[in-house]
Structure 1
Amino acid sequence: MKKISIEVDGKSYLIVTKDEKTELGIKGHTTPEKDEETHEIYVPNILIITRKNADVLFVLRGGGNDSFAIMIAQDLYDKFQYQWFEPLADNYRELLYVNEADYAKKNLQNIQLG
């Protein structure tokens, strides 16, 4: 299991990769079983970019038409054509996080990250 802690807009999140699946963990609070009060959960507008085996490569801030997503890098290039290295470019998305772990570094060498 691989865990990555990131902060987005002052809130902490945990990205967990296990068994070739990546998920976003959101801190919550336990409540009594009889609690019927509605509790809001904020999911950040971020794009978690992974390899095909679900290893996290980097995280982008979503734009106005985006919503939270986990996608492989190839889909990012083929379907969205987002850019994170030139703020004036069309389809620019802010780079929030780059995975510095050894298993990700060798895959990031082929990607321009800034």
Structure 2
Amino acid sequence: MIETIIKIDGTDYVFKTDKNKTVLDLGATLKAKPTDEPKKIQTPRVWLITTKEKKIPLFAVRPVTNETSFRIITTQQLYQEKVQWFEPLANGYRKLLWRHPDGQKQGTEPFHAYKHFSWKEIVSFAIEDRWPISFVPGGTGDWKAHSKGGDGYLLVNMEGTPYWTDAVGQIPFSVDTYKSKLESIGVVNAAISQTVVTGMKYGDGIPVFGSTDNSASYDNFMVLRGALWAAENHTVHQVMVTHVKMPYKKNVVQYKFVNTDKLKNPVGDDSLAKYGMWKK
């Protein structure tokens, strides 16, 4: 039996995992309370998210008003319900309350539930120039399926924070699209907006008969996150070139690393108001 203690709203709740099942032990929670505290205990307002097979706790989120206040569900169930905890302004947001401390400890069950990355590793994959067709499902640009990317994992751990793999997988597509738009347009703000529009149209990676997403989905927010990062870490300038003896100006986009802040942090109100094309 595995015992996991999770502090929720000031109370240390005891969860027990045994025979591929996790339950809240209110009796053990009550016994663990200091003797000078009133002997009362209430079921916490939380959803505990576990692994699919062994039901090992991974993290916990706060349900919104009018939802079932307490649940213990698997990552697959949460994914099917389109819940996310990393973009507060996007649809499906639930606040992240707790992460298993062993999530970054090698050799543990929580650690192996994720594939682990740094944001700089995402940058290394994203800045490689690719043809747009490479982002189709299973293509060389499809980070969520690539062996150097998500590799089929449902969840990735980004420097300690869990993400849906397909959410992070939007970033390489976004960065590549931004570079292409900036080279064509030459204007940063317009390139960001056009990247978001392209993500809404082809975000599922299917170039023909794909699904258009005009909602405030986390996919669209992650496309914007990637575009904002690309704008901060790329420059554009014009050079004179000659084609068939005809000189003309060409936009040249260059990568210059600044930081990964725009990748690490969720989209803010100002960026949403300016570039959230699904709202316009």
TM range (shorter): 0.7 to 0.9
Given the alignment of the two structures, is residue 86 of structure 1 paired with residue 87 of structure 2, yes or no?
yes
Alignment gaps of 5+ in structure 2: 32-38, 103-107, 116-152, 157-161, 164-280
Q: Does the CA contact (< 8 Å) of 1:57 and 1:108 recur in 2? A: no
Q: Does the CA contact (< 8 Å) of 2:30 and 2:40 recur in 1? A: no
Q: What secondary structure is seen at the aligned counterpart in 1 of 2:6? A: strand
Alignment gaps of 5+ in structure 1: 30-38
Where do residues 1-114 of structure 1 align in structure 2 (5 Å cutoff)? 1-26=1-26, 27-28=29-30, 41-52=41-52, 53-66=54-67, 67-78=69-80, 80-101=81-102, 102-109=108-115, 110=153, 111-112=155-156, 113=162
Deviation at 1:74, TM superposition (A): 0.5
- Structure-1-length-normalised TM-score: 0.79
Residues matched between the structures, number: 104
Q: Does the CA contact (< 8 Å) of 1:84 and 1:92 recur in 2? A: yes
Deviation at 1:12, TM superposition (A): 1.4
Deviation at 1:9, TM superposition (A): 0.9
2-structure distance, mates of 1:20, 1:81:
24
Deviation at 1:40, TM superposition (A): 6.2
What is the aligned-residue RMSD (CA, Å)? 1.9
2-structure distance, mates of 1:18, 1:73:
18
Q: Does the CA contact (< 8 Å) of 2:85 and 2:96 recur in 1? A: yes
2-structure distance, mates of 1:28, 1:100:
23
Q: Which amino acid is 2:60 matched to?
A: V
Flag the structure with larger Rg: 2
Report sequence identity in percent: 34
Q: Which has the higher helix share?
A: 2
Q: Which has the higher strand share?
A: 1
Deviation at 1:84, TM superposition (A): 0.5
Higher relative contact order (CA 8 A, sep 6+): 1
Q: Does the CA contact (< 8 Å) of 2:62 and 2:96 recur in 1? A: yes
Deviates most, 95-104 or 10-19: 95-104
Q: Does the CA contact (< 8 Å) of 1:99 and 1:105 recur in 2? A: no
Runs of 4+ deviating beyond 6 Å: none
